[in-house]
Amino acid sequence: MEIEVRHARVVVAVAETRSISKASVRLCLPQPSLSAQLRRIEKIVGGPLFVRSRLGVEPTVLGERLIPMMAELAAHADAISARANAFAPGPVLRIGSVEWTPFGLQQSIIAALPGTEVRTETLDSPAAAIAAIDRGQLDAALFSGVHPELRGRADGPKLGTRVVVSEPVWVALPDDGRRTRAGLRELPDLRDLRWVQRARDHSFHEVEEQFFLAALGAEPQAVHRAASNAEAMSWVREAGVAALATPTAATREVALLEPEFEVPRDKFTLVWRRQAIGQQSLGGLVRALRAYYLEYVQVFPCFRTWLTANPAGVPELTRLLAGH
């Protein structure tokens, strides 16, 4: 058996993350499967490539010799894929988003990048999106929050990131009519509310932690932890509990109320593979995403009112709002 590109990607992921578990998340592989692959690779090269230490997984002497060569092999494979795509009949943009992909978003991108074929994909986590970009299966992806896998890699030689919008975080409550008429002024005491929060590995969980630390000094005891924004909003509607939500994550059946104090912002982020998207296409893509966001949030009356009264409330949209 010979070393293949997929073997090189496994070794590089372990070397960069210094962790078998983190590498399995990046590559979207079960940890036992990745460990088994690593053992087969080490059998091919004739010895262990990594050893466990207090600091995590570190290269052996053999690993220090071979890992740079494997990183070069993976990089060459990426370059070949990018060059092959460049000769494809017409540009193709493959973009993923986490949890859901509205049809209108695809149409906005197509309008902004005429002549480009746009293919969209919905993924279940930022980790899956980043792994798909690393493997060359996607050119870019959209998700909220800051994922740990991006720390240390964002705006590096391979990946670029851009904040599309910094979304306000409000409190979602059951829509009983009275709150809708009250608008943004009658927020109950947060300590009196029962809360549904996101799962601890959800990208929005860090925003929740910051919010509750500022508002209550500690996180409340959540009655439920939801795996997705849609599930959290379902609990708000059906169980009568409260949740934190951005305008784009909320549904029309809940009331959104603005806290009277400064709260953390959730960042709607675009991540892309630098070899796949040029600066001109990137500019058009970001403008399309922001324009779509502005159109989409108009369906929320309270947020539309808030944006009108606070044109600089979402700085990334200020210029668009002026001409809207």
Q: Which residues contact 213 (CB under 8 A, 6 or more apart)?
A: 219
pLDDT in tens, the chain (324 residues): 588 888 888 899 899 888 988 887 777 677 887 888 899 899 999 999 999 888 789 999 999 999 999 999 888 887 877 666 655 555 889 999 988 888 788 888 888 888 888 999 998 888 888 889 888 899 999 988 766 666 666 556 788 888 899 988 889 998 866 544 334 445 567 888 899 999 988 888 888 998 898 888 888 889 999 988 889 999 999 999 999 998 888 777 788 888 777 778 888 889 998 888 888 888 889 988 988 888 887 777 778 888 888 888 888 888 777 765
What is the topology classification, in CATH, of domain 92-152+270-322? D-Maltodextrin-Binding Protein; domain 2 (3.40.190)
Q: What are phi and psi of 261, to 5 degrees?
A: -130, 165
Residue 236: its pLDDT value, please?
94
Measured in residues, the chain has a length of 324
In the chain, CATH 1.10.10.10 covers 5-85
Domain 169-257 carries which CATH code? Answer: 3.40.190.10
The count of other CB atoms within 10 Å of the CB of residue 228 is: 18
In the chain, CATH 3.40.190.10 covers 92-152+270-322, 169-257
What is the topology classification, in CATH, of domain 5-85? Arc Repressor Mutant, subunit A (1.10.10)
Q: What is the model's pTM? A: 0.65
Q: Return d(Cα 178, Cα 190) in angstroms, integer.
A: 18
| Cβ atoms of residues 319 and 287 within 8 Å | no
